[in-house]
Amino acid sequence: MEERRNREAAGLIIRNMDELTSHGNIEGRREALCILEAGLEASDPYDNTRKLIRIQDGKLIVGHKDFIRRENPSMLTVKLPLQFDLSEIGSVYVVGGGKAAQRMAKAMEDALGDLITDGQINAKKGEPLMLRRIKVTFAGHPMPDEDSIEGARRIMEIEQKARKGDIVFLSLSGGASALTALPGPGLSLKDIQDVTRMLYFQRGASMPETNAVRGNLVMLRHERLVGDATLIQFVTEEFPPEIPLARIHAKRSQSLSSSYSGAIEVLKRFQIWDLVPRSVRLYLEKSNPEYGPIRREDVEGRPRYYFRPFGPEYMLEGARRRADEKGISAHVLVSSLNDIEARAVGDMMAFIAQEVEVNGRPFKPPCVILFGGESRVAIGDSTGRGGRNQEFVLSAAPRVEDSRNIVVASADSDGTDGPTDVAGGLVDGYTMERTRKAELNVFDELGNHNSHEVLARLGDTIITGALSTNVRGLGVVYVAGMSGPLRQ
């Protein structure tokens, strides 16, 4: 934690800031990257999680009025905060997985200290080790690997030994489905990998759709495994609260993931039901309830509690606040722009930026347009490398060519964009000219989903390293002034 905070204080979340601001629209790049960095700095769930857990007057207290707790009809309705007499608590376990799981678990570790009996967190490879009392396994994402299985088995062992009177803290965030992928009986790691490759990478399914299938092929069912022990879930969510479309999307995803038939529906909709391994089809058709989705009877009357310490609204607010401090008008256009092709998002945001620059609408420049979410890239049989953030910004480059006012930047909050080691990228009105001088054909490279090659050659990839959080991506569109017919 101290290392990250020291880096943040020094303004070093973006490690290659000097290179990124050495060419092109230098002043515009500085403004856009400063605002982007502030959003990434605000994406750490540690402080919120730490605020939710405290030991006071011989009691373990969990909960705080500032944070949303989603009610589940199968869970107990209780008065907050939860209070447990320390003399009556048995063992305390901390388990979980996801790209933000280690940061939340670190807060739990700092709050609980030697109360923790045992623990296991599965984090993404590339993250630094942050935990001392709790064991960490670094696993594969978005493609699960053998380490995903090894760590998931240890999580299961810990949960299965929990008894009535024990407390299990569960730290979860996006990425958990890959990082804790323990295949069901009769399935192999290759089966899970094949389904992920075909559905997510080749067909461009959204991650919720991918998880609707993958989640029904794995064995970790935390609510069932802990039995009569108290389960307290802490979840960094990828959707902002109180957005109707996000709620509808979440309900749809939950509906699909809560049944084997939902998984079959997704595979058939993407026309790969007959292409996935036979073992996967047999497993889903068998629909064994012992390993399947949680049912009401698995949790009804048992102590199960849910807390949401973090979400993308904190990232967006951090970016907006930095813009305000700099005297730049900031507008959050949409907080959860998900599951749209990255190239379409690039076109749309570039058109909006042009309208602002030329006609001063819908916003008056100088201004910054912010958005959060996760677009998608269906790579099919292409051989290029990139990620949704890099493809988004590169797609915007042709439409903002020759503008001396527009800069477009985007990065993933976890610090990695697609199968690359960079967080994202940025472009401006000079980018197309620079690609031609470098003998790069932007349109050919976009067709091959090879955005990383272009941006890396130009020195326009954003490098942060693993940031140990996951609230999707942050897009920043900066427009410095007007250049069109309405300019005075």
Query: Residue 218's closest CA among 158, 298, 294, 299?
Result: 294
- Say which amino acid occupies 329: S
Pairing between strand 461-462 and 167-173?
unpaired
CA dihedral (485, 486, 487, 488) in degrees, to 10, reads 120
Which residue ranges does the chain devote to CATH 3.40.1480.10? Answer: 2-44+312-479
Tokens 């955005």 belong to residue: 451
pTM of the model: 0.89
Residue 484's pLDDT is what?
Answer: 55
| Dist. CA 127–CA 469, nearest whole Å | 10
Which residue ranges does the chain devote to CATH 3.40.50.10180? Answer: 46-182+218-258+293-310
Residue 9's pLDDT is what?
Answer: 46
Q: Which CATH class is domain 46-182+218-258+293-310?
A: alpha beta
Please tell me whether residue 471 adopts helix, strand or coil conformation: coil
Question: Using one digit for the tens of pLDDT, what is the confidence trace for 240-255?
Answer: 876 654 454 555 445 4
CATH number of the domain located at residue range(s) 2-44+312-479 in this protein = 3.40.1480.10
Instruction: List the alpha helices (DSSP H) in 197-295.
Output: 207-214, 222-225, 244-257, 260-269, 278-286
| Dist. CA 333–CA 476, nearest whole Å | 10
Tokens 């559905």 belong to residue: 199
Is the Cβ–Cβ distance between 99 and 468 less than 8 Å? yes
Dihedral class, residue 383 (left if φ above 0, else alpha if ψ from -120 to 50, else beta): alpha
For residues 204-228, one letter each, b for 16 or more C-beta atoms within 10 angstroms of the residue's C-beta and e for the rest, the string is: bbbbbbbbbbbbbbbbbbbbbbbbe
Is the Cβ–Cβ distance between 232 and 96 less than 8 Å? no
Please tell me whether residue 455 adopts helix, strand or coil conformation: helix
76, two tokens: 């107990």
Query: Residue 372's closest CA among 417, 311, 415?
Result: 311
CA dihedral (299, 238, 266, 259) in degrees, to 10, reads 0
In angstroms, the Cα distances linking 249 to 119, 214, 252, 465 are 32, 17, 5, 30
> How many Cβ atoms from other residues are within 10 Å of residue 345's Cβ?
24
Dihedral class, residue 279 (left if φ above 0, else alpha if ψ from -120 to 50, else beta): alpha
Name 401's Cβ contacts closer than 8 Å, sequence gap at least 6: 429, 431, 432, 433
> How many Cβ atoms from other residues are within 10 Å of residue 480's Cβ?
21
Q: Is the peptide bond before 362 cis (omega within 30 degrees of 0)?
A: yes
Is the Cβ–Cβ distance between 29 and 480 less than 8 Å? no
Question: Using one digit for the tens of pLDDT, what is the confidence trace for 73-116?
Answer: 444 445 679 999 999 999 999 999 999 999 999 999 999 999 99
H/E run at residue 434: helix 431-437
| Dist. CA 230–CA 221, nearest whole Å | 15
Is the Cβ–Cβ distance between 410 and 355 less than 8 Å? no
> How many Cβ atoms from other residues are within 10 Å of residue 315's Cβ?
27
Question: Using one digit for the tens of pLDDT, what is the confidence trace for 325-349?
Answer: 999 999 999 998 988 999 999 999 9
Pairing between strand 461-462 and 424-428?
antiparallel
Name 427's Cβ contacts closer than 8 Å, sequence gap at least 6: 393, 394, 396, 397, 400, 407, 408, 455, 460
CA 56 to chain CA centroid, Å, is 33
Residue 53's pLDDT is what?
Answer: 97
Tokens 């509906």 belong to residue: 255
Which stretches in the chain have pLDDT values below 50?
1-4, 7-11, 70-77, 245-246, 248, 252-253, 255-256, 485-488
Structure letter (DSSP) for residue 79: P
C-alpha angle with apex 30: 39 to 477, nearest 5 degrees? 60
- Say which amino acid occupies 447: G
Query: Residue 171's closest CA among 213, 123, 225?
Result: 123
E-strand spans in 250-340?
A: 304-310, 329-334
Tokens 């749309």 belong to residue: 348
Phi, psi torsion values for 12, nearest 5 degrees: -115, 25
- Say which amino acid occupies 231: L
